[in-house]
Amino acid sequence: MSAIEGTRPRDGEARMPVEATPVEAIGGLVARARDAGFDHAARPLAERAGLLRALADAILADGEAIVALLEEETGKPAAEAWLHEVVPTADLGSWWSSQGPAHLATEAVRLDPLAYPGKRARVEVVPRGVVALITPWNFPVAIPLRTLFPALLAGNGVVWKPSEHTPRVAARVHGIVREVFGPDLVELVQGAGAQGAALVEADVDAVVFTGSVATGRKVGAAAGRALTPASLELGGKDAAVVLDDADLERTARGLLWAAMANAGQNCAGLERVYAVAEVAGPLKARLGELAGELVPGRDVGPLVTEAQLATVERHVREAVDGGAEVLAGGERLERGGRWFAPTVLAEVEPSSAALREETFGPVVVVQTVADEAAAVAAANDSRFGLTASVWTRDAARGEAVARRLRAGVVTVNNHAFTGAIPALPWGGVGETGFGVTNSPHALHALVRPRAVVVDGNARPELYWHPYDEALERLGKGMAALRGKGGPITKVRAVARLLGALRRRF
């Protein structure tokens, strides 16, 4: 049996390996989740909503243990672990349990009794079945829970494959889910790409994936081959536009948080700032100062993986070699583990990786631009488009500029904090993918509509065989009646219809 090895991001210490799920076992786990899902879907919606509240309570009650595992596996500061991973669970539980049921309710549809005599119709919202949930290491608790809550409310079974970099905290959360929902409804697959790929191909009914663009393409292709609906939420290269009337102190602090939270390992991490010439100088200076005051370990955690650290280092080195200004940081920190200094670069060569590829580290680039239009154009010049922000004292101007930004979430005078708000959709454009989490829009990946029609008409339908000339005239009459002719045309159409009807019966 293969094992998942790894070292701690904070100090590089080796950890006890975690057992990986054998690939051959995955089909059986999907089948168990499917069986358990049938029983779960049969529970009244109100009961499922109650279970969500119980799940949220249980996770909040286990916060200390979850935070300890997050520190062990990701190194993120405890404040971040509490605020970004544990606390949002409360809102997920209360929002989905109170607001979710309305979006899953059956809707009666009125059918025209003349055209469709004796018929009753409704639209039911049914679970897709088994959802394959594949998640990354940057928010190993918050990201899976964002999908688990609505997926379970909707009545699905779930097979969850967490990242191979965070198996322990995943196992802890999974244990809590089992206690609340019973043993088989949510199954856990531990492992890496092989297990993830096998899961996507294991007869699942939907795939919800959050991760890199490269892996997202593979998952999307595999799901496409199997004709399995897939929600893909991939990378980002978030931009902020700073206008001439921005409150520079608040802006600098907000931009810094958006760039450095989770050590920048956030698909909505702020990586590019376009500041108009009037304010660029003081903004750069203040950002550099504030970044220099951040304390690694307390304010900013390490990079979770060696590969990520190497990417960050490469982007910064290339930018600096290309002539960028270094306003803070710029290099690895030698303190054991995988640390990179909080870094602010400026005036980076536009084709450089630090402006074009996802850096996913504690690095932000500030570029001076001539004016608002240039800032918007530069912000939109990206393959990604998750979130974007505008900073200005003029709210109306901010909104107008925000609407011109190509992103799934736009904020004025703040950045990226809305991921924790279940009522607001979270998704993007371009290579960020088309997956949406949070809000009723997230349900699209997790449910399908089922039209149910019951026909109480005792007579054969008018339009059934055999076809004859009267039916043809009927068709012409109906088209004329529904078309945009004047009153005379309509009266003629009715007469023709009645005649045809008489002959038809």
Residue 303 has phi, psi (to 5 degrees) of -80, 140
CA 356/CA 344 separation, integer angstroms: 16
* Smallest gap from residue 17 Cβ to ligand ADP (A): 16
Nearest CA to 317 out of 299, 336, 343, 294 is that of 343
Residue 280 has phi, psi (to 5 degrees) of -60, -45
Mark the segment that binds ligand ADP (CB under 6 A) among 38-46, 86-94, 143-151, 215-223.
215-223
Characterize the bridge pairing of strands 332-333 and 339-340.
antiparallel
224 counts as binding ligand ADP under rule CB under 6 A? no
Residue 429 burial by CB count (10 A; 0-12/13-18/19+): exposed, middle or buried? Answer: middle
294, HSE (Cβ side, Cα atoms, 13 Å)? 29
Cα angle, residue 128 at apex, residues 55 and 456 outer, rounded to 5°: 120
Decide whether 74 or 367 has the Cβ nearer to ligand ADP: 74
Nearest CA to 278 out of 251, 260, 255 is that of 251
215 counts as binding ligand ADP under rule CB under 6 A? yes
CA 34/CA 131 separation, integer angstroms: 9
Binding mask 237-266 for ligand ADP (x = CB under 6 A): ------------------------------
Binding mask 69-108 for ligand ADP (x = CB under 6 A): ----------------------------------------
Decide whether 20 or 280 has the Cβ nearer to ligand ADP: 20
* Smallest gap from residue 213 Cβ to ligand ADP (A): 8
Binders in 185-204 for ligand ADP, by CB under 6 A? 192-193, 196-197, 200
Q: Judged by CB under 6 A, which of 125, 186, 204, 219 binds ligand ADP?
A: 219
The residue sitting closest to ligand ADP, measured at its beta carbon, is 196
The one-letter code for the residue type at 450 is: R
Decide whether 58 or 194 has the Cβ nearer to ligand ADP: 194
Decide whether 51 or 304 has the Cβ nearer to ligand ADP: 304
* Smallest gap from residue 161 Cβ to ligand ADP (A): 5
Q: Judged by CB under 6 A, which of 7, 99, 212, 414 binds ligand ADP?
A: 212
Decide whether 4 or 287 has the Cβ nearer to ligand ADP: 4
Residue 233 has phi, psi (to 5 degrees) of -115, 110
Residue 393 in tokens: 């004292």
* Smallest gap from residue 399 Cβ to ligand ADP (A): 32
Decide whether 136 or 342 has the Cβ nearer to ligand ADP: 136
**Separation of CA 307 from chain center:** 23
**What letter would DSSP give residue 22?**
P
CA 228/CA 218 separation, integer angstroms: 13
| Tokens 């198996």 found at | 167
**What letter would DSSP give residue 300?**
B
Binders in 124-183 for ligand ADP, by CB under 6 A? 134-137, 161, 163-164
Q: Judged by CB under 6 A, which of 32, 218, 393, 444 binds ligand ADP?
A: 218
**Separation of CA 22 from chain center:** 28
Gyration radius of the chain's alpha carbons: 28
* Smallest gap from residue 109 Cβ to ligand ADP (A): 38
* Smallest gap from residue 379 Cβ to ligand ADP (A): 23
CA 355/CA 363 separation, integer angstroms: 11
- Of 233, 357, 358, 431, the active-site residue reads 233
Nearest CA to 271 out of 76, 145, 432 is that of 432
Binders in 333-392 for ligand ADP, by CB under 6 A? none
Residue 7 has phi, psi (to 5 degrees) of -125, 155
Mark the segment that binds ligand ADP (CB under 6 A) among 4-12, 207-215, 268-276, 496-504.
207-215
Decide whether 168 or 286 has the Cβ nearer to ligand ADP: 168
Residue 192 in tokens: 């890496």
Give yes or no: 233 in active site: yes
217 counts as binding ligand ADP under rule CB under 6 A? no
* Smallest gap from residue 210 Cβ to ligand ADP (A): 7
Decide whether 163 or 359 has the Cβ nearer to ligand ADP: 163
Yes or no: say if 363 and 372 are a contact pair by the CB < 8 Å rule.
Answer: no
Yes or no: say if 380 and 51 are a contact pair by the CB < 8 Å rule.
Answer: no
Binders in 302-321 for ligand ADP, by CB under 6 A? none
Write out the DSSP string of 62-118.
THHHHHHHHHHHH---HHHIIIIIITHHHHHHHHHHHHHHHHHS-EEE---TTTSTT
Decide whether 324 or 445 has the Cβ nearer to ligand ADP: 445
CB atoms within 10 A of CB 284: 22
* Smallest gap from residue 31 Cβ to ligand ADP (A): 19
Residue 117 in tokens: 């005599």
- Of 73, 267, 372, 431, the active-site residue reads 267
Q: Judged by CB under 6 A, which of 77, 157, 211, 408 binds ligand ADP?
A: 211
* Smallest gap from residue 211 Cβ to ligand ADP (A): 3
Residue count at the site for ligand ADP (CB under 6 A)? 17
The catalytic site residues sit at 233, 267
Residues that bind ligand ADP (CB under 6 A): 134-137, 161, 163-164, 192-193, 196-197, 200, 211-212, 215, 218-219
